[in-house]
Structure 1
Amino acid sequence: MVDTLRAFADEVTRVAREVGTDGRLGGQARVRGAGGTWKDLTDNVNSMAQNLTSQVRNIALVTTAVARGDLSKKIDVDARGEILELKTTINTMVDRLSAFAAEVTRVAREVGTEGKLGGQAEVLGVSGTWQRLTESVNHLAGNLTAQIRAIAAVTIAVTTGDLTRHITVDASGEVAELKDNINQMIANLKETTGTNQEQDWLKTSVARIFRLMQGHRDLATLTSLVMSELPPIVSAQHGTFFLATDADGSVTLERAASYGARLGNDAPTRFRLGESLVGQAAWDKKTITMSGAPPDYVKISSSLGSADPVNVIVLPVLFEGQVLGVIELSSVHEFTGVHHDLLEQLKEAIGVNINTIRAASRTEGLLIESQRLAQELRAQQEELRRSNTELAEKAELLARQNRDIEAKNVKLEEASQLEERARQIAVASRYKSEFLANMSHELRTPLNSILIMAKLLADNLDGNLNAKQVELARTVYRAGNDLLHLINNVLDLAKIEAGRMEVLPVPVELSELVGYIESLYRPLAAEKALEFTVVIEPDVPASLETDRYRLQQILRNLLSNAVKFTHTGSVALRIRLADRSEVTRSALRSAVRRIAFDVEDSGIGIPADKLSLVFEAFQQGDGTTSRTYGGSGLGLSITRELTLLLGGELKVYSEPDHGSIFTLYLPVDAGDVMPSSTAAADLRAPSEPDEAAAAPDELWAEPVEEPAAEVPATGEPTRFHGEKVLIVDDDPRNTLALATLLEAYGLRVARAEDGAAGLRALQDADDIALVLMDVMMPGLDGNATTARIRAMPRYRDLPIIAVTAKAMKGDRERSLASGATDYITKPVDADHLLRLVARYVG
């Protein structure tokens, strides 16, 4: 019994210790040999241990699952008493945790995943931590809902163009950063949008006013338009427009238009530069702004009342730095920045239109003057033709007189005969020379005005002429040059006939001559799609001795005609040694070396019955008024005479519709000249015999000269800085042309109508930097006036440029001897004159 009790006690104690103390569940008491009450006790202990083990393990299983997040398990073991209460409590906890988790999951899914804002977790019967957790989740969802809805509302407003909204909901962390960024974005967008709207308004307003100003040709209309349109745009209620006028070198600002102004007797209408803010703005060429105008400065009034302006702007109207007017505006409001920008842009645009109208007015005046000069020129051309006819008659008369004198003096002594002939020739030569000088002056003086004015218009320095007007001016310029060439041809021919043409033999390199010809005629041939070749045969000497300029003139005439009368095919120049048999006069076939210049073309050719006419002055192959090719018929006549002067000979071979060959023969050495009274020539069609009778020879119309160069439309002209030039000339047309030219390039001009007036002008002014002195003037001519100026010590170094239209031998030397610094002939080349002026006043 004792052993059994001891064993029972040990087992019960072990099971109690393992289960109750050590927490090792599942233990069972085993007592061998126990029966009866001890066995029942053992079974009760084991039953208690078993129940406790299953209950605790079930509780542990559920709590472990809960701890792991599994809320699907509950305590299902049988229990009673406190264990049952514990079971119920734990199962209730699991249910509430499941409900809490489901609500939190639902809210998280709706808010975080599905985007359904405003959701709240609803868990009944929770308190303590679970209630706080539920409230935290709901607070989180509520804050997130409020923040996102606030951001959405503002962004929707921005999308619809409403930039007045801002996000005002409380936020922190990244949401606060997002809130601040969106608010900053709205502010930036509002500022940018405002700026863009202002710029759009600015561009639209400038374009509108600029468009309205286009096409007006009257300054009164333009200023009225500006004052009716500009003040309302910048919210001004009062304004005046002053135009700048230049009278006698003094700039005055005169009121031309107004807006909302009360114009009484006390309202000023004119200001000088620097006078009042209007004159000061014009003087400084800067905008003047005045804020807070004092009382009684000006009243902005209507029929119902008046008010003082808050802001006043005085705006100079400029064009290329020149003040053309001043606009004054006042307003009862402050002018905004965009208003200032608009006014600054418009002052240049308004200036451009004012300058355009004034330039158009000046252009019309110049065109009228040009037309008048052209009419005078036509009248002078008619006078020239009559004079030429008279000259021819007088020349014929002189020739008959000379023949009569020679016949009467045949029986006189040889010395007396030669002396008398010399005297008669001298008289005739002097008469022709004086006539040529006077005609040169009478023709070149008006032509000088035409060329200078036409070139000024063609240069279009102010850029105010359209393309058609520039082309018209160029046409006038080219026509004037053509007339100049005609005058030069007539004078050259007359000089030759009068024996006043001189030659200056110098060594002429053929390679340089070829380069000169190539540069002139290859472009002309290319324009007509003609083949152009120049060939020098190997045995030709490298140079010949002759007058370089006269040889160039002859070849230019021949080649110009070849290009002019050839429409398809080729033009060629061949330089070779001439065969002795080619020269017409047999006396020259032996010793003299000659160079032949062959000018060959595939052009229209010359009929055989016209060969004897084309070398005569004023004669052409087609002399009708309906002829295809224009010209005076002087070029080949001059070429024939120049060939004679150079000791040469001309031959022509021609066949209609098959072209022509003109051959110029010149001696290699200037001493080996051919005997000349007429020009040696050979005029033959290809079918005629080799020894055709000599006759005048050349092509059947005058050459197309190259001195008529295209007037450049643009360039970099010489610019001056207000230096003063005195023009002394009795011809007002010439004075006007020269003054217009010089003033266009920045010079000031004083004028005197004769030599005495020029001397007085010099004595009255101390700022004259240079004098342009016309040589031919009535009374005190240019040379005498120059000599008197040089006699005054203060003007010994004053630059004086002599200007003459006579251009006869000795004229230059006489002008320089009288004290002229330099010399220039009419028609004056504008660029050459400007270079001379720049040399002496720079």
Structure 2
Amino acid sequence: LELKSTINTMVDQLSAFADEVTRVAREVGTEGQLGGRAQVRGVSGVWKDLTDNVNFMASNLTSQVRNIAQVTTAVANGDLSQKITVDAQGEILELKSTINTMVDQLSAFADEVTRVAREVGTEGQLGGRAQVRGVSGVWKDLTDNVNFMADNLTSQVRNIALVSTAVAQGDLGKKITVEAKGEILELKSTINTMVDQLSAFADEVTRVAREVGTEGNLGGQAQVRGVAGVWNDLTENVNFMASNLTSQVRNIAQVTTAVAQGDLSKKISVDARGEILELKDTVNTMVEQLRGFADEVTRVAREVGTDGRLGGRATVHGVSGVWKDLTDNVNYMADNLTSQVRNIAQVATAVAQGDLSKKIDVDARGEILELKTTINTMVDTLSSFSSEVTRVAREVGSQGQLGGQARVEGVYGTWKRLTTNVNELALNLTTQVRAIAEVASAVTSGDMSRSITVDAQGEVAELKDNINLMVANLRETTRAKDWLESNLARLAALMQGHRDLMEVADLILRELTPLVNAQYGAFFLAEPDEDDTAIRTAIPTKGLAYIAGYGSAAASVVDTGGMPVHGLVRQAALEKKRILVEEAPPDYIKINSGLGEASPASVVIIPIPFEDKLLGVIELASFSRFSDVHLAFFDQFVNTIGVAINTIIANSRTESLLGESQRLATQLQERSDELQRQQGELQRSNAELEEKAALLATSSQYKSEFLANMSHELRTPLNSLLILARLLSDNPDGHLNDQEVQFATTIHRSGSDLLQLINDILDLSKIEAGRMDVRPKKLPLIKLLDYVHATFRPITLDRGLAFEVSVGEDVPREVFSDEQRLQQILRNLLSNAIKFTANGKVELRVSRVKDPEHKYVREAEDLMAFAVSDTGIGIARDKLPVIFEAFQQADGTTNRKYGGTGLGLSISREIAGLLGGRIIAESEPGEGSTFTLYVPVVYPGHEPVAEAPPLHRAPDRTPLLPAQLAEPTEAFTIHEQEDNWPTPTKLEQWKTGLAGKVLPGRRVLIVDDDIRNVFALTHVLGRVGMPVLYAENGREGIETLDGNPDIELVLMDIMMPEMDGYETISVIRGTPRWAGLPIVALTAKAMPGDREKSIAKGANDYVPKPVDVDQLLTVVCDLLAPEVDDTTDEPTASGEQESTVDPVAPPTIE
């Protein structure tokens, strides 16, 4: 038998090991669910090593794959700072190295491209290139493209810089020749044009310099057309220089000619500087040498003629005759010349400063008179020219008076050309601006047929082209808008007044199809909702129905019967978006006529929405493409169609509802009369019911008070009976033989049965009075299953039954419900299953019910099902309703085989209803029974809240089921295994572990008026080494506390004479030195609200009578444990050594 068990256990473990390894391999290797681990319990040796190795492999693979996914996700998001750091070997190491190398190359590529962009685009360092080593494929193409862009930009900018440098150095023979596009091409054209203008300017200046300076052709002027600004100023300055040089040279020639002819009355008087000034000095010196005139005459000639110091006079002493005449003539000539030159200089300075109001008024003769006349004429001409040019500039440029012309009389040469150029400029500007204004005015007036036709160049030509393009665009936009609005209005007017959907659909297709140059059309109408009967006759089944066509018929629709349930029509209906198909395949649609057929070029499918629902779909096909105007028309027109169709549907529905409302109004009036007759009878019935309700409330109150008193009176003797019977059954001293121990065990079991009967009666009373409370909280399912298994597995083992618990794959980890009530229901169902099963098995199956079609899903969307099945005697079908009634059983005869009160199922059914669920029974006689408890996963009466911390800790239990119930796993079954579940402990066991450190020597005060309870509790506490003090009521308890400051715990009864437990607890808590004293409330009343009231008064915990010894000692141990150091065997709160009370002999009561 042992070998059999060993081999079977080995097979079970190997099977579990294989299942777990297979699951982990499938999840990690096939399904990609990383993080899975094999859970094989109870294995050791090589099987444990194999399990650990499998888990190590899965964990290692999970960390590697997740690290790789993290790095690749970072690269996809543009983060190149992360690398794969997880340890790897083999092919994973190669993958790691490959990805890290890829990240390095991408990072180097990004750095190089950023560097080149910064150097070329920001810092202006041309010639930079990206150097990325080891790249190939698309990364090499990207690098080459970046370098090509940088090279192209470098060559263009350097060529522009080369030409600009040449111009700056005076070399006008170079132009920009590099290929360019876009804005660089515009810059190239502008610079080349500038070079051409500079070259023309240089040629003219060179010609004038050659004619005047080399060939001696005085009077030459530079003629450079098309220049303005500084270039125009430079041209005028060159011409001014040539004119000045001509006047100087001619003056010198005149003087030398006069001297050669013996006329010594003339001198060089023109202003000069530099080498001209030197030439002037040379001629004057020649005159001085030729004349051999006196030093004075030479001085005067030098001062007046050479130094320009006018006003000098020759003083020659001792001369007479001709020399005196000559001296006087010279002095006269000097004075006259001084006045003339000073007057000429004054006028010339005023002209140079822009003052044209002054003239030469000195007397003069000869050439000086001609010079005077010439200069005065020049001043008049300049003044007239300036006035006219200023007038034209002001009228045309500032005042906007186009058409003005400069009129300067008597000008020739350059001045006439300047006047002509100004007039030509004003005329061109006038013509161009008037042409632009004429077109702009026409556009403003709505006339889009005009355009600018005047000749123009440069920026004015660009402006002309832009305005003409703008007018053309406006003309096309206006035409499209007019077409759109007019046709929208026309079709909307045509649809008004129609009440038949078929007629409207046919009208829409007849008008819309030719309007957009289409040759094929189909109209599909959506089926209405269930309550929309207005157009039901037009749609035989759900979906989209073909109701009208243009060049098409229902038979041409792809799906049978003209109902397109698939394809683009259905897709457009689902998305409520227009779908346009360009270049349709040749066999897509055939548009035919009497002469032939052909395929369309474009197909458009247009959904017809109204608010948030779809009313229909229109499909059109055309031999040509649909224009943007047509598509815009579709988008706007469908809204109009939607409103029209909805209006027809609404009108039809309104007519239908109007008839229905009239019919209902008649019925309502008839019912109103009937209700008035019934109201009188109802009032009389209500009066009778109120009277009966008052009597029932009084009766219920009497019954509740009776049950509370009876509970107290029954529980009080039961308390001492159960505790003492428990002490006898423990037989710590071994004084009792086995039969006597069995007697004591039977007494304890009978008392427990009686206690359960009392609890059942009280529960039934609470339910009938509507006072059964529900305390929902988050309940881990593993905790509930632990309780079930710990409670019933020993019982089934004792009866030789198999006990199985199975949990479905999708069962949640926790539920939000009342833990105590769920335990009570499962305890009743499992107790009944075990009681009525002689052999076979009892099974608890936990599953989740989410199917809305399930026959028991009513109130909640998400249910848990606890199914208790057995292989017992079964129940007849006609007895199934009876067993849920109070005090009813399937076998209620006097010679029945099974006992019981018949309250368990009745109470369970009512509690299930309080939890929002129900219990369903299924059974066949002789085949066993199945009772299924359906409860919501979340209690419907409350929202889930954070669970409050427990008042005390329950004894540790080793969980049998895996904690990850919420994860999808294979369904599992618990069969018989090693019994490691806690059973009712013997008192001797409370002397070991933490309790052995906490309890001995801790003094306890029991406040209770029933000496039997005191006697029983004293023996229990004395067995674990706790000395006991006793007080008969609350007042004596307070006095005992005053006299014994070493009391560390109070067990307080509630119902006592003089001062009850509630008042006593309040007094203790009101005393500062007792504020932290642990108090446990004990009561035999055990009615609703007792626990909450005790805690509110100040008790630390609550234990109902009859007292469960294990529960009481657990509560006491939890309350005293925080004050004890777990590392020592001595209590640290009181400082006493381990109790010297003999745990064997009955303790004495102080």
Please state which band the TM-score falls in when normalised by the shorter chain: 0.3 to 0.5
Higher-Rg member (1/2) = 2
Higher strand residue share: 1
